[in-house]
Amino acid sequence: MSWREVPYPVVVIIGPTAVGKTEIAIQVAQHLGAEIVSADSRLFYRGMDIGTAKPSMEERQRVPHHLIDLAEPDEVWSLALYQQEAARIIADIHQRGKLPLLVGGTGQYIRAMIEGWEIPPQAPDTQLRNALEQWAQEIGAETLHGKLRVLDPAAAQLIDPRNVRRTIRALEVIFRTGRRFSEQRQRKQVPYSFLIIGLRRPRSDLYRRIDQRIEQMLARGLIDEVRMLLAKGYSPDLPPLTAIGYHEIIQYLKGEISLDEAVVLMKRRTRNFVRRQAAWFREDDPRIHWLEVNEQTVGRILDLIMDKRAWLILREGHETEPQVQGLKNQE
Protein backbone atom coordinates (compact mmCIF):
# COMPACT_ATOMS: atom_id res chain seq x y z
CA MET A 1 0.00 0.00 0.00
CA SER A 2 1.27 3.48 -0.86
CA TRP A 3 0.09 6.98 -1.53
CA ARG A 4 0.28 6.21 -5.26
CA GLU A 5 -2.89 4.11 -4.86
CA VAL A 6 -4.81 7.16 -3.61
CA PRO A 7 -6.57 9.32 -6.24
CA TYR A 8 -5.07 12.82 -6.48
CA PRO A 9 -3.36 12.73 -3.08
CA VAL A 10 -2.38 15.90 -1.21
CA VAL A 11 -0.72 15.81 2.21
CA VAL A 12 -1.57 18.87 4.30
CA ILE A 13 0.76 19.83 7.15
CA ILE A 14 -0.61 22.48 9.48
CA GLY A 15 0.32 23.90 12.84
CA PRO A 16 0.98 27.17 14.65
CA THR A 17 3.84 29.55 14.02
CA ALA A 18 7.21 28.17 15.23
CA VAL A 19 5.94 24.61 15.73
CA GLY A 20 8.49 23.29 13.18
CA LYS A 21 6.44 22.79 10.01
CA THR A 22 9.19 23.80 7.59
CA GLU A 23 11.88 21.34 8.65
CA ILE A 24 9.46 18.45 9.17
CA ALA A 25 7.87 19.02 5.76
CA ILE A 26 11.29 19.12 4.12
CA GLN A 27 12.32 15.83 5.73
CA VAL A 28 9.07 14.15 4.70
CA ALA A 29 9.43 15.49 1.15
CA GLN A 30 13.01 14.23 0.90
CA HIS A 31 11.93 10.72 1.88
CA LEU A 32 9.19 10.65 -0.77
CA GLY A 33 10.56 12.86 -3.53
CA ALA A 34 7.64 15.17 -2.84
CA GLU A 35 7.27 18.91 -3.46
CA ILE A 36 6.09 21.62 -1.05
CA VAL A 37 3.29 24.04 -1.88
CA SER A 38 3.29 26.94 0.57
CA ALA A 39 0.05 27.97 2.25
CA ASP A 40 1.55 30.88 4.16
CA SER A 41 0.39 34.28 2.92
CA ARG A 42 3.45 35.98 4.44
CA LEU A 43 5.79 34.15 2.07
CA PHE A 44 4.34 35.64 -1.12
CA TYR A 45 6.39 38.82 -0.98
CA ARG A 46 9.90 39.30 -2.27
CA GLY A 47 12.37 41.02 0.04
CA MET A 48 10.49 39.92 3.16
CA ASP A 49 12.60 36.95 4.18
CA ILE A 50 13.79 37.31 7.76
CA GLY A 51 10.61 38.61 9.36
CA THR A 52 8.50 35.87 7.76
CA ALA A 53 10.89 33.00 8.60
CA LYS A 54 10.85 32.18 4.89
CA PRO A 55 12.57 28.90 3.96
CA SER A 56 16.18 29.63 3.08
CA MET A 57 17.62 29.11 -0.40
CA GLU A 58 19.48 26.09 0.97
CA GLU A 59 16.21 24.61 2.22
CA ARG A 60 14.53 25.33 -1.12
CA GLN A 61 17.39 23.55 -2.88
CA ARG A 62 16.82 20.47 -0.75
CA VAL A 63 13.17 20.25 -1.84
CA PRO A 64 11.23 22.16 -4.54
CA HIS A 65 9.02 24.87 -2.98
CA HIS A 66 6.14 26.63 -4.71
CA LEU A 67 4.16 29.86 -4.09
CA ILE A 68 7.05 31.73 -2.49
CA ASP A 69 8.40 35.11 -3.70
CA LEU A 70 5.49 35.73 -6.04
CA ALA A 71 4.94 39.46 -5.70
CA GLU A 72 6.29 42.79 -4.54
CA PRO A 73 5.06 44.06 -1.16
CA ASP A 74 2.76 46.59 -2.83
CA GLU A 75 0.98 43.94 -4.91
CA VAL A 76 -2.17 42.26 -3.60
CA TRP A 77 -2.56 38.49 -3.63
CA SER A 78 -6.19 37.52 -3.06
CA LEU A 79 -7.47 34.23 -1.72
CA ALA A 80 -9.12 33.51 -5.07
CA LEU A 81 -5.83 34.00 -6.89
CA TYR A 82 -4.06 31.78 -4.38
CA GLN A 83 -6.61 28.99 -4.92
CA GLN A 84 -6.18 29.25 -8.68
CA GLU A 85 -2.38 29.10 -8.55
CA ALA A 86 -2.27 26.37 -5.91
CA ALA A 87 -4.64 24.20 -7.96
CA ARG A 88 -2.51 24.71 -11.08
CA ILE A 89 0.70 23.77 -9.25
CA ILE A 90 -0.84 20.74 -7.53
CA ALA A 91 -2.11 19.48 -10.90
CA ASP A 92 1.38 19.88 -12.38
CA ILE A 93 2.97 17.99 -9.47
CA HIS A 94 0.48 15.15 -9.88
CA GLN A 95 1.08 15.05 -13.63
CA ARG A 96 4.77 14.54 -12.96
CA GLY A 97 4.01 11.65 -10.60
CA LYS A 98 5.05 13.52 -7.47
CA LEU A 99 3.27 14.02 -4.16
CA PRO A 100 2.30 17.60 -3.19
CA LEU A 101 2.67 18.69 0.43
CA LEU A 102 0.46 21.69 1.22
CA VAL A 103 2.23 23.34 4.15
CA GLY A 104 1.48 26.45 6.13
CA GLY A 105 -0.04 28.36 8.96
CA THR A 106 -2.56 30.55 7.10
CA GLY A 107 -5.73 28.78 8.13
CA GLN A 108 -7.96 30.60 5.67
CA TYR A 109 -5.88 29.43 2.70
CA ILE A 110 -5.70 25.83 3.91
CA ARG A 111 -9.42 25.64 4.66
CA ALA A 112 -10.27 27.19 1.29
CA MET A 113 -8.33 24.44 -0.48
CA ILE A 114 -9.59 21.58 1.68
CA GLU A 115 -13.24 22.62 1.63
CA GLY A 116 -13.45 23.99 -1.91
CA TRP A 117 -14.48 27.51 -1.00
CA GLU A 118 -15.94 29.64 -3.74
CA ILE A 119 -15.42 33.32 -3.01
CA PRO A 120 -18.70 35.29 -3.33
CA PRO A 121 -18.83 36.98 -6.74
CA GLN A 122 -18.84 40.45 -5.26
CA ALA A 123 -17.32 43.19 -7.41
CA PRO A 124 -15.44 45.83 -5.42
CA ASP A 125 -17.45 48.95 -4.58
CA THR A 126 -14.81 51.67 -4.89
CA GLN A 127 -16.92 54.40 -3.30
CA LEU A 128 -17.87 52.26 -0.32
CA ARG A 129 -14.34 50.95 0.07
CA ASN A 130 -12.91 54.48 0.05
CA ALA A 131 -15.43 55.49 2.69
CA LEU A 132 -14.49 52.48 4.84
CA GLU A 133 -10.79 53.26 4.44
CA GLN A 134 -11.41 56.83 5.55
CA TRP A 135 -13.44 55.54 8.49
CA ALA A 136 -10.58 53.22 9.44
CA GLN A 137 -8.15 56.12 9.46
CA GLU A 138 -10.47 58.13 11.69
CA ILE A 139 -11.32 55.48 14.28
CA GLY A 140 -8.32 53.11 14.05
CA ALA A 141 -7.92 49.45 13.18
CA GLU A 142 -8.99 48.06 16.55
CA THR A 143 -12.21 50.08 16.68
CA LEU A 144 -13.04 49.20 13.07
CA HIS A 145 -12.54 45.53 13.89
CA GLY A 146 -14.87 46.03 16.86
CA LYS A 147 -17.60 47.16 14.44
CA LEU A 148 -17.11 43.95 12.46
CA ARG A 149 -17.22 41.95 15.70
CA VAL A 150 -20.71 43.35 16.39
CA LEU A 151 -21.99 42.69 12.86
CA ASP A 152 -20.32 39.31 12.23
CA PRO A 153 -18.61 37.72 15.26
CA ALA A 154 -17.62 34.59 13.29
CA ALA A 155 -15.78 36.59 10.64
CA ALA A 156 -14.17 38.86 13.22
CA GLN A 157 -12.78 35.90 15.15
CA LEU A 158 -10.79 34.80 12.12
CA ILE A 159 -9.49 38.21 11.05
CA ASP A 160 -6.49 39.81 12.71
CA PRO A 161 -7.67 43.15 14.15
CA ARG A 162 -4.58 44.77 12.63
CA ASN A 163 -5.41 43.49 9.14
CA VAL A 164 -7.40 46.54 8.06
CA ARG A 165 -7.68 45.38 4.44
CA ARG A 166 -9.48 42.15 5.36
CA THR A 167 -11.68 43.90 7.92
CA ILE A 168 -12.72 46.45 5.29
CA ARG A 169 -13.40 43.70 2.75
CA ALA A 170 -15.69 41.87 5.19
CA LEU A 171 -17.56 45.08 6.07
CA GLU A 172 -17.87 45.98 2.39
CA VAL A 173 -19.55 42.66 1.60
CA ILE A 174 -21.86 42.97 4.62
CA PHE A 175 -22.96 46.49 3.75
CA ARG A 176 -23.51 45.67 0.07
CA THR A 177 -25.43 42.43 0.57
CA GLY A 178 -27.08 42.88 3.96
CA ARG A 179 -25.79 39.45 4.97
CA ARG A 180 -22.96 38.35 7.22
CA PHE A 181 -19.66 37.83 5.44
CA SER A 182 -19.15 34.50 7.21
CA GLU A 183 -22.44 33.15 5.81
CA GLN A 184 -21.67 33.83 2.15
CA ARG A 185 -18.97 31.23 1.61
CA GLN A 186 -20.05 28.63 -0.95
CA ARG A 187 -18.33 25.31 -1.56
CA LYS A 188 -17.61 23.12 -4.52
CA GLN A 189 -16.46 19.52 -4.82
CA VAL A 190 -12.70 19.27 -4.47
CA PRO A 191 -10.85 16.85 -6.77
CA TYR A 192 -8.22 15.77 -4.23
CA SER A 193 -7.76 13.13 -1.58
CA PHE A 194 -6.40 14.90 1.50
CA LEU A 195 -4.40 13.62 4.43
CA ILE A 196 -4.29 16.37 7.05
CA ILE A 197 -1.56 16.26 9.68
CA GLY A 198 -1.51 18.75 12.51
CA LEU A 199 1.69 19.44 14.43
CA ARG A 200 1.62 20.59 18.03
CA ARG A 201 3.89 21.23 20.99
CA PRO A 202 3.24 22.00 24.64
CA ARG A 203 2.28 25.68 24.89
CA SER A 204 5.30 26.53 27.06
CA ASP A 205 7.65 24.93 24.51
CA LEU A 206 5.95 26.75 21.65
CA TYR A 207 6.24 30.12 23.39
CA ARG A 208 9.92 29.47 24.10
CA ARG A 209 10.48 28.74 20.41
CA ILE A 210 8.62 31.90 19.43
CA ASP A 211 10.87 33.97 21.68
CA GLN A 212 13.98 32.29 20.25
CA ARG A 213 12.78 32.82 16.68
CA ILE A 214 12.26 36.54 17.24
CA GLU A 215 15.71 36.91 18.80
CA GLN A 216 17.19 35.04 15.83
CA MET A 217 15.36 37.31 13.37
CA LEU A 218 16.94 40.34 14.99
CA ALA A 219 20.36 38.70 14.97
CA ARG A 220 20.00 37.86 11.28
CA GLY A 221 19.26 41.46 10.34
CA LEU A 222 15.51 42.08 10.58
CA ILE A 223 16.06 45.78 11.26
CA ASP A 224 18.15 46.16 8.11
CA GLU A 225 15.56 44.23 6.10
CA VAL A 226 12.85 46.65 7.19
CA ARG A 227 15.09 49.65 6.47
CA MET A 228 15.69 48.32 2.97
CA LEU A 229 11.97 47.92 2.28
CA LEU A 230 11.26 51.46 3.45
CA ALA A 231 14.21 52.78 1.43
CA LYS A 232 12.67 51.24 -1.69
CA GLY A 233 9.64 53.44 -1.12
CA TYR A 234 7.18 50.88 0.19
CA SER A 235 4.59 52.49 2.45
CA PRO A 236 4.50 51.34 6.10
CA ASP A 237 0.72 51.12 5.65
CA LEU A 238 0.91 48.33 3.07
CA PRO A 239 -0.72 45.14 4.44
CA PRO A 240 2.52 43.08 4.32
CA LEU A 241 4.36 45.77 6.29
CA THR A 242 1.70 45.85 8.99
CA ALA A 243 2.44 42.19 9.74
CA ILE A 244 3.91 41.19 13.09
CA GLY A 245 7.61 41.97 13.18
CA TYR A 246 7.60 44.53 10.42
CA HIS A 247 5.11 46.84 12.09
CA GLU A 248 6.98 46.90 15.40
CA ILE A 249 10.37 47.49 13.78
CA ILE A 250 8.88 50.33 11.74
CA GLN A 251 7.62 51.86 14.98
CA TYR A 252 11.13 51.53 16.39
CA LEU A 253 12.75 53.10 13.32
CA LYS A 254 10.30 56.01 13.55
CA GLY A 255 11.36 56.57 17.15
CA GLU A 256 7.89 55.77 18.48
CA ILE A 257 9.08 52.91 20.71
CA SER A 258 12.40 51.50 21.90
CA LEU A 259 13.88 48.31 20.48
CA ASP A 260 13.17 46.50 23.75
CA GLU A 261 9.53 47.59 23.54
CA ALA A 262 9.37 46.42 19.92
CA VAL A 263 10.64 42.98 20.90
CA VAL A 264 8.13 42.67 23.73
CA LEU A 265 5.30 43.62 21.36
CA MET A 266 6.48 41.14 18.73
CA LYS A 267 6.51 38.30 21.22
CA ARG A 268 3.13 39.23 22.70
CA ARG A 269 1.45 39.66 19.32
CA THR A 270 2.90 36.42 17.99
CA ARG A 271 1.43 34.55 20.95
CA ASN A 272 -1.94 36.17 20.29
CA PHE A 273 -1.60 35.20 16.63
CA VAL A 274 -1.00 31.58 17.63
CA ARG A 275 -4.27 31.62 19.53
CA ARG A 276 -6.09 32.93 16.46
CA GLN A 277 -4.48 30.21 14.33
CA ALA A 278 -6.02 27.63 16.65
CA ALA A 279 -9.48 28.91 15.76
CA TRP A 280 -9.01 27.65 12.20
CA PHE A 281 -8.07 24.09 13.18
CA ARG A 282 -9.53 22.67 16.35
CA GLU A 283 -7.90 19.76 18.11
CA ASP A 284 -11.23 17.91 18.18
CA ASP A 285 -11.58 18.07 14.38
CA PRO A 286 -11.81 14.41 13.32
CA ARG A 287 -10.29 15.16 9.91
CA ILE A 288 -6.92 16.02 11.42
CA HIS A 289 -4.26 13.58 12.63
CA TRP A 290 -2.61 15.56 15.44
CA LEU A 291 0.99 14.64 16.25
CA GLU A 292 3.33 15.89 18.94
CA VAL A 293 6.59 17.11 17.47
CA ASN A 294 9.46 14.86 18.55
CA GLU A 295 12.08 12.52 17.08
CA GLN A 296 9.39 10.11 15.84
CA THR A 297 7.21 12.69 14.07
CA VAL A 298 8.63 12.30 10.56
CA GLY A 299 8.40 8.52 10.79
CA ARG A 300 4.80 8.65 11.99
CA ILE A 301 3.88 10.99 9.13
CA LEU A 302 5.47 8.62 6.61
CA ASP A 303 3.52 5.71 8.11
CA LEU A 304 0.27 7.64 7.78
CA ILE A 305 1.02 8.57 4.18
CA MET A 306 1.56 4.91 3.33
CA ASP A 307 -1.66 3.81 5.09
CA LYS A 308 -4.53 4.11 2.62
CA ARG A 309 -7.09 4.02 5.45
CA ALA A 310 -5.75 7.28 6.81
CA TRP A 311 -6.79 9.07 3.62
CA LEU A 312 -10.43 8.06 3.85
CA ILE A 313 -11.45 10.42 6.65
CA LEU A 314 -11.52 13.55 4.52
CA ARG A 315 -12.04 11.90 1.12
CA GLU A 316 -15.40 10.49 2.15
CA GLY A 317 -16.17 13.33 4.51
CA HIS A 318 -18.99 11.55 6.33
CA GLU A 319 -17.39 8.76 8.34
CA THR A 320 -18.99 8.16 11.70
CA GLU A 321 -17.15 9.22 14.83
CA PRO A 322 -16.49 5.59 15.92
CA GLN A 323 -14.82 4.91 12.56
CA VAL A 324 -12.69 8.00 12.84
CA GLN A 325 -11.74 7.33 16.43
CA GLY A 326 -10.95 3.72 15.63
CA LEU A 327 -8.49 4.80 12.98
CA LYS A 328 -6.92 7.44 15.20
CA ASN A 329 -6.41 4.92 17.98
CA GLN A 330 -4.26 2.87 15.61
CA GLU A 331 -1.83 5.73 14.93
Residue positions forming the annotated binding site for substrate: 17-22
Q: CA 36, CA 101: separation in Å to the nearest integer?
A: 5
The answer to whether 270 touches 244, Cβ cutoff 8 Å, is yes
CA distance linking residue 252 with residue 275, whole number of Å: 25
Give the amino acid at 123: A
Binding region for ATP:
15-22
Q: Which segments are annotated as binding site? A: 15-22
Torsions phi, psi of 176, nearest 5? -80, -35
**CA nearest 264: which of 242, 250, 245?**
245
The per-residue DSSP string of 96-145 comes to: TTPPEEEEES-HHHHHHHHHTEE-------HHHHHHHHHHHHHH-HHHHH
- How are beta strands 186-187 and 193-200 bridged, if at all? unpaired
Please calculate the CA angle 229-235-237 and round it to the nearest 5 degrees. Answer: 120
